[in-house]
A and B are shown apart, each in its own frame.
Chain A
Amino acid sequence: MQQHCTPEDLALAALGEPLPAGDAAHLADCRACTDEVASLRRSVDALAVPAFAATGSAVAPPPHVWAAIAAATGVESGPAAPPTPAVPAAPAAPVRPAAEAPAPPAEVVPLRRMRSRLLLAAAASLVVGAGIGAGAVALRDDDGDDEAVVALAGAQLDPLGENSASGEAEVVERPDGSRVLRLELDADSPQEGYLEVWLIDTAVEGMVSVGVVGAGTEELELPPDLDIGEFPIVDVSVEPLDGDPTHSGVSIARGQLA
């Protein structure tokens, strides 16, 4: 019987490379060498999978993926054109002796939380300084109700990201002193989850959930002591049915009361 295979050849066998005939014959009969190959192959089996391959075909992600990345990072530059499916395969890392291996990327906080924070931070940079028109602007109620309803503030809601949702929001005071947020939302129902309306402060740190809405005209009563000057940003988000009461970070429309 031929002597044992070299450790190098056993490693190559673990990678699935064919061995010279003599070695292959030995390997087929030798328990020790077979066990060695099997133990080395565990890593190969775990890592040499199609999803990890650097050579597979490219698939262009749908446009909303970039929108979500832009929202999460606050980056406003956009790709000049949608990536084409014909993106060439990424080259493998060049093998450079003595080059230092790149450190693993910093582990990120759970995406959901980070996304909310960063998305809101991005929004903050745009609304800071805009301020809110102080004081109540007494306007006639458009609906022509007999009740003397006073419009306190209004906002146009503009779509965020790839969304096409838009609408108008208005805070009105009813004769009894209570206030409602009137929302006229032009949006499709989310494929999953539901729409929730928030009032957010200008620092974009605090927020108050005002309620769940659908498309169309809705009225949501505001908490009596809520200062809409402190929380002037009207935000409509898509919330998954996951039991998490915090903002999903997925806003579809937003505007600032003034």
Chain B
Amino acid sequence: MTGLLDRPTMAVPPSSRPRSTTVAVVGNDVIPLPGPAPEPDDAEIGRRFATGDEQALALAYQRWSGQVHGMAVRAFGPGPDAEDVTQQVFVSAWTGRAGYRPEAGPLPAWLVGVCRHKIADTWAKRDRQRRLAEAAAADAETRPAPAARPLDAAVADRLLLLDELDRIDQPQRGIIELAFFEDLTHTQIASRTGLPLGTVKSHIRRTLERLRSRLEVDGAAALHA
């Protein structure tokens, strides 16, 4: 399986005349939400998502797929790869919804976290495919295969670091995410969170040291491919 061809759906341009449907096997038509129900707020969607309310998945998609897809597009450019990531994020979030706890944070932040994992996974997959292709090319030319090149360092680092981030408790995790992903300075983080400046600084230091340790300890283990 090439993966690159493993696309979620093929875009089949509309062509045929509309037909009335008599066989009840169409499983995934988009069905409009019934009635003018009041729009649930984000927290409500998060709670309902966690309990497996199917409509909450649709609402979450409606509200946050743009954010998720924006990240995927920044990683892979517009097109099938980005669409595949966005699809994976929502499918994986839905099937893994037991791992989402509304009391620990809003659903969109969790979805964005899932998206980072999917992007990192896809980067790693592409990197592996590129190495395989290079090895195959070398083989075809009956040249000695180049020494097995490890995963691109940044690609491997990201997999490890995202995993480590998931293990970090609050408030440390939220603090470092504001620094990494929202580009806030420590003074901005202190004012956003209401935590003392010194506390923010020391959490940042300890978290960066922790992440560095993870890279030092498990850096080689990242080559599980």
Contacts and interface: CB of A to CB of B under 8 A. Distances in A.
Interface string B1-37: 1110111111111111101011111111111110000
Contact of B83 (A45, A47, A65): A65
B130 interface: no
B204 to A, nearest CB: 5
With a 10 A CB-CB cut-off, give which of B14, B66, B67, B192 has the most chain A CB atoms.
B66
Interface residues of B, number: 119
Interface stretch (A138-146, A220-228, A248-256): A248-256
A90 B16 contact: no
Nearest to B42: A91
Interface in B36-90: 54-55, 57-59, 61-67, 69-75, 78, 82-84, 86-88, 90
A67 B100 contact: no
Nearest to A88: B67
Given A8-B205, A101-B104, A105-B99, A58 B69 contact: yes
Contact of B9 (A57, A68, A187, A241): A68
Interface of B: 1-3, 5-17, 19, 21-33, 54-55, 57-59, 61-67, 69-75, 78, 82-84, 86-88, 90-101, 103-106, 108-114, 116-117, 119, 154, 157-158, 161-163, 165-171, 173-175, 177-183, 185-186, 192-193, 195, 201-202, 204-205, 208-209, 211-212, 215
B69 A51 contact: no
A69 B61 contact: yes
B95 to A, nearest CB: 6
A84 B25 contact: no
Interface string A52-65: 11111111111111
B105 to A, nearest CB: 4
Contact of A93 (B15, B23, B31, B106): B106
A12 interface: yes
Interface in A9-49: 10-12, 14-15, 17, 39-40, 42-48
Contact of A76 (B31, B71, B83, B90): B31
Given A51-B75, A95-B171, A98-B170, A103 B66 contact: no
A216 interface: no
The 8 closest A-B pairs by CB, nearest first: A105-B96, A58-B66, A90-B108, A78-B30, A95-B174, A87-B66, A51-B75, A240-B5
Interface residues of A, number: 116
A83 to B, nearest CB: 5
A156 B21 CA distance: 9
Contacts of A101: 104, 166-170, 173
Given A12-B201, A14-B208, A158 B25 contact: yes
Contact of B12 (A59, A66, A119, A252): A252
A95 B170 contact: yes
Nearest to A52: B116
24 contacts: A54-B181, A56-B71, A59-B69, A61-B86, A66-B65, A76-B54, A90-B106, A90-B109, A96-B105, A96-B171, A98-B170, A99-B171, A105-B96, A112-B6, A115-B8, A156-B22, A158-B21, A162-B12, A164-B14, A187-B12, A188-B15, A193-B5, A240-B7, A242-B2
B170 to A, nearest CB: 4
A134 interface: no
Given A158-B19, A250-B10, A256 B25 contact: yes
A134 B168 CA distance: 61
Given A93-B173, A104-B99, A122 B27 contact: yes
Contacts of B3: 242
B181 A48 contact: yes
Contacts of B13: 164, 188
B6 A75 contact: no
B74 A158 contact: no
